[in-house]
Chains A and B, each alone.
Chain A
């Protein structure tokens, strides 16, 4: 009788390792069976088997499958089935993740995220930027690149790169005709896909630009992205304590440490003399930081140049680092890196072993 994959599987279903109540097929340990001419290739998960049991099991598989007429060799590949390596976090190669969030739109969150990413890169970090602002992806405009990222090696998305920052916009993967209604399951699907499919390479910091607000979409994102620390962007004229409280509660709910508050558009820098005018009154971010016990990481003045640079496809930090605002971002980047390191050290992820 001609040997077939089905016959091999049938035989594997007779293999029952000591201590296991089921055979290896029923237990879900057999992942793949291939037959190439007279060679059999079996891929299996190690499952919970202790070393001696695994050895005996492999021996039994080789013997029983090798007994088929027409089979010359049996190769069994065993994968360890514990979680991903934990030291570097669950996104392979990504050492830390900072989420940039705001409880409402119009506070310049994406501009902050883009400039923070550029400033981190300027400081020597390998930086990625995930534009998760599904309601209004702005990174393509800000970085002057709106091409769809390439798909390499069959299914890996290679981020675009500009100004030393690798970036991907989730919005670019949406069908233009799809309504911008993001419900939990859809977001979950897209986020999982992204965590799996984007080939970031080695990153020191991944900046995630979250959609503004604290709804289902945001919660789903922070639930699935193992954020090392979150930054909340606000404006002085618009500080709504209830909103911020909501934002902080959302991060607490998913155990995500809050690194601090960034007060954006906190005054006007005169373009001729560099003199700084508090535009909306001072101290919103400070009051916030004091009230919630998180640091005020930066006060970023409004400057016409920031917006102009953004519109022209180069974040200001990358376009002109001598600008006063660029200097504020560079300082912010230094603080964020320090805070990320501290957070990673004091909030380690569980180790999954055995």
Chain B
């Protein structure tokens, strides 16, 4: 059986740019809105992937209008572009974590 999924303690919208997630294990990171939007896990978006870099402040033309709790395992995001079918499981959000620890060397390259 897999490890229990991590659970966020707080999900905070940071203005037009980003969403900060603080996890119950104190891990935390800021997710750029465009990055989160492009990684929408819904079937439609997965079929038409759009890649963006996991950095904040890049091309932020979209933001979550509403974030809702779905059961005990996920949140729903209603984006300002009208898209609202993605259910982001906590597992998915953690896997997407853009912090340098989670992304390893990749994030170092982005800085240069």
Contact = CB atoms under 8 A, between A and B. Distances in A.
A347 B15 CA distance: 28
Contact of A29 (B13, B60, B71, B80): B80
Given A21-B60, A28-B65, A47-B65, A353 B10 contact: yes
Given A20-B16, A27-B80, A45-B65, A225 B71 contact: yes
Interface stretch (B1-9, B44-52, B100-108): B1-9
Contacts of A49: 15-16
B10 A351 contact: yes
Contacts of B53: none
A254 interface: yes
Nearest to B5: A255
B42 interface: no
A81 B71 contact: no
Interface in A239-268: 249, 252-256
A237 B12 CA distance: 50
Interface string B56-87: 00001101111111111111000111100000
A255 B90 contact: yes
Contact of A252 (B4, B9, B12): B4
Nearest to B82: A28
Contacts of B16: 19-21, 48-49
Interface stretch (A7-15, A82-90, A104-112, A329-337): A82-90
A3 interface: no
A161 to B, nearest CB: 27
Interface string B1-31: 1001101111111111000000000000000
B65 A29 contact: yes
Contact of A48 (B4, B13, B71, B90): B13
A225 B8 CA distance: 18
Task: Give chain A's interface residue range (CB within 8 Å of chain B).
Answer: 35 or more
A254 B71 CA distance: 8
Interface string A194-237: 00000000000000000000000000001111110000000000
A69 B72 CA distance: 52
A52 B81 CA distance: 24
A28 B78 CA distance: 10
Interface in A163-191: none
Nearest to B19: A354
Given A82-B66, A82-B67, A354 B72 contact: no
Contacts of B1: 249, 252
Interface in A330-354: 347-354
Nearest to A47: B65
Contacts of B69: 83-84, 86, 90, 226, 349-350, 352
Contacts of A352: 10-12, 67-69, 75
Contact of B13 (A22, A82, A252, A349): A82
A134 B65 CA distance: 34
Which of A22, A256, A352 has the largest number of chain B CB atoms within 10 A? A352
B16 to A, nearest CB: 5
B11 A349 contact: no
A123 interface: no
Contacts of B74: 223
Which of A50, A348, A354 has the largest number of chain B CB atoms within 10 A? A354
A21 B61 contact: yes
Contacts of A47: 63, 65, 80
B106 to A, nearest CB: 26
B71 A224 contact: yes
A81 B7 contact: no
Contacts of B11: 350-353
A83 B9 CA distance: 14
Interface string A20-42: 11100001110000000000000
18 contacts: A19-B16, A21-B60, A21-B61, A28-B79, A28-B81, A48-B16, A48-B64, A81-B65, A82-B13, A223-B73, A224-B71, A249-B1, A255-B7, A255-B73, A348-B9, A350-B9, A350-B11, A354-B13
The 8 lowest CB-CB distance pairs between A and B, nearest first, are: A354-B13, A350-B8, A21-B61, A354-B12, A255-B72, A254-B73, A255-B73, A90-B69
